[in-house]
Amino acid sequence: MFQSFDDTATPEAGPARLAALRGALQDEGLAGFLVPRADAHQGEYVAERDARLAWLTGFTGSAGFCIALQEIAGIFVDGRYRVQVKAQVDTDHFTPVDWPETKPADWIRTQLPEGGAVGFDPWLYTAEQIETLEQGLKGSGITLRPTANLIDGIWPDQPEPPQGQISSYPVEFAGRDHESKRAEMARELREAGHRAAIITLPDSIAWALNIRGSDIPRNPVPHAFAILQDTGHLTLFVDAAKLDDTLRAHLGGEVLTRPVNAFAPALRSLTGPVRLDKSWVPVWVVQQLDEAGVARAWGDEPPILPKACKNDAEIAATREAHLRDGAALCEFLAWFDAQAPGTITEIDVVTRLEQCRRASGKLLDISFDTIAGSGPHGALAHYRVTHKSNRTLENGDLLVLDGGGQYLDGTTDITRTLPVGDVGAEESAAFTRVLQGMIAISRLRWPGGLAGRDLDAIARYPLWLADQDYNHGTGHGVGVHLCVHEGPQRLSRISHVPFKPGMIVSNEPGYYREGAFGIRIENLVVVTEAEPLPGGDQTGKLCFETLNWVPIDRRLIEAEMLTAAERGWLNDYHARCREKIAPRLGEDAANWLMRATAAL
């Protein structure tokens, strides 16, 4: 199994570790210390060595941070984790704080009225994060002080850094060789008047060099840093143990590999202006350049937008990955529907689904730990089942099943909400509203230039009419055999990045009632140019092409709530599921698919 069911949260250890951290604060003359859920590459998923937030607090969610002061330690989490955090931390010692509603600077100002110095590790915070925090603290008498990581100093058995092997990525799936990618990025640097650019995002490096890594479970990326010159030459700072002769041959003569400890001297020797991405670059990098007097300029990492806008080969590859994954999920669903309520558990669900994905012979990993939340667990948007939390699926439950696979030709992600036996009318009505929002995004056409903030509300409109909503974005970007959460594109009210053809994003509205049930329906979609409509008077519209082809459970739909257009979309979607997936299924699953996709 790729997925384990061990309970890694250790809330009972939190008080002693917090006391040790406060001792370190006193030794350093600090009033507090910032503990993010991040590594030097700002990855959402971190290696065991970098799981400092979980080690200190017990909280294992994929987003959040702690501000530890001498008298109070706030643990900041967004709407996805507000139930989970209460179960995973000792709330007598760690105080959950609603974020982003509560701004960190405002909270620190309230808790430190006399001022003081708050420490942070400059490797783990970006220039933008610290700039925002300093602006919020202006005039308070509170300062931010870069320091060595105090958690590392009190963590006696901290794991070593990962040493995963790096391999080349086939050009048939990448669509372009890395020589042409580097040449294009270098040309863009020259046009902007920049002599070099710093690249710290692992998926940016992986995309730019057509490589994949194995430092982080679920995400096939390498831990490394890179300097791209305006000539197209690139220096990759990486542990030599991760490379072999085949990989070195793939990189070629214009890519120089150096050890990570050579990164600082290389930064200090650059000729500027050097481009830095304020959203991602560690403060430590800025410090090196500033101390050496190297001119710098803010701008996007050169791979960010080209990586997001998939080419034809990448889109074709990911279509095939989704068809393969869809067949696996349909095989699972046929099995699931044959199980009586009360006979299987959440772990049984996760295990069986992974077996179905593995049966293709092409699954390299899961793209994230499968979410299989039944009943009240479904209200935890990012629930991860453990041996301790495992629950039997009972009659009347809803099951939120969210998972995906890492295949060489694509990264998949899909959510279906499934009934266990007979489900109540209130749950079905909420499910139908979520479905209406998902259909609205699927059918959407919009003029170029709009961003996630402009489209997000469309998915929420049916829920808003019933005074319902969900505390997460409607969609995140997705890579092609890269990270399942990829920027810069998002279908979210906080995203200002315009959608462009080739961008892949999830379409996943939901509804969650704490202690009762959860609902989410998700397909991945790719931005494409829309065909003109007869009688229309505008061109240049964009639309979404659906990538996932797995039935949406008709037993939960209140058909009378759907409009004729919504019903037509669903029937057409199900007809295409039959067309695309049935030839890939065994007899039992094919028969199940025919029943599951019958027209409303």
- Length in residues, the chain: 600
By the 8 A CB rule, do 532 and 543 touch? Answer: no
What DSSP string describes 309-343? S--HHHHHHHHHHHHHHHHHHHHHHHHHHTSPTTS
Q: Quick count: other Cβ atoms within 10 Å of Cβ 318?
A: 25
Of the chain, the percentage scoring pLDDT greater than 90 comes to 93
Ordered domains of the chain (ranges, CATH): 11-154 (3.40.350.10), 167-302 (3.40.350.10), 309-596 (3.90.230.10)
Of the chain, the percentage scoring pLDDT greater than 70 comes to 100
Q: Give the three-state DSSP class for 304.
A: helix
Pair type for strands 510-513 and 517-520: antiparallel
What DSSP string describes 182-231? HHHHHHHHHHHT-SEEEE--HHHHHHHHTEE--SBTTB-----EEEEETT
User: According to the model, what pLDDT value does residue 82 have?
Assistant: 84
Mean per-residue pLDDT, 45-62 = 92
User: According to the model, what pLDDT value does residue 173 have?
Assistant: 98
User: According to the model, what pLDDT value does residue 69 have?
Assistant: 97
User: According to the model, what pLDDT value does residue 83 have?
Assistant: 80
User: According to the model, what pLDDT value does residue 400 have?
Assistant: 98
Give the H/E segment covering residue 136. Answer: helix 127-137
| Secondary structure percentages of the chain, helix, strand, coil, to 5 | 40, 20, 40
Residue 502 structure tokens: 């080739």
Quick one: 71 exposed, middle or buried, by C-beta within 10 A (0-12, 13-18, 19+)?
exposed
Mean per-residue pLDDT, 454-473 = 97
User: According to the model, what pLDDT value does residue 61 have?
Assistant: 85
Q: Is 123 left (phi over 0), alpha (psi -120 to 50) or beta?
A: alpha
pTM: predicted TM-score of the whole model, two decimal places: 0.95
Q: Residue 561's pLDDT band (boundaries 50, 70, 90)?
A: very high
Residue 261 structure tokens: 């400890």
Integer Cα distance of 414 and 356 in angstroms: 14
Q: What is the 3-state secondary structure (H, E, C) of 341-353?
A: CCCCEHHHHHHHH
Between the alpha carbon of residue 153 and those of residues 17, 52, 234, 407, the distances in Å are: 11, 11, 34, 39
Q: pLDDT tens, 163-193?
A: 999 999 999 999 999 999 999 999 999 999 9
The radius of gyration of the chain's CA atoms, rounded to the nearest angstrom, is 24
User: According to the model, what pLDDT value does residue 81 have?
Assistant: 82
Integer Cα distance of 541 and 173 in angstroms: 28
User: According to the model, what pLDDT value does residue 337 have?
Assistant: 98
- Tokens 């099995």 locate to 335
By the 8 A CB rule, do 34 and 119 touch? Answer: yes
Q: Is a pLDDT exceeding 90 seen at residue 537?
A: no
Q: Is a pLDDT exceeding 80 seen at residue 235?
A: yes
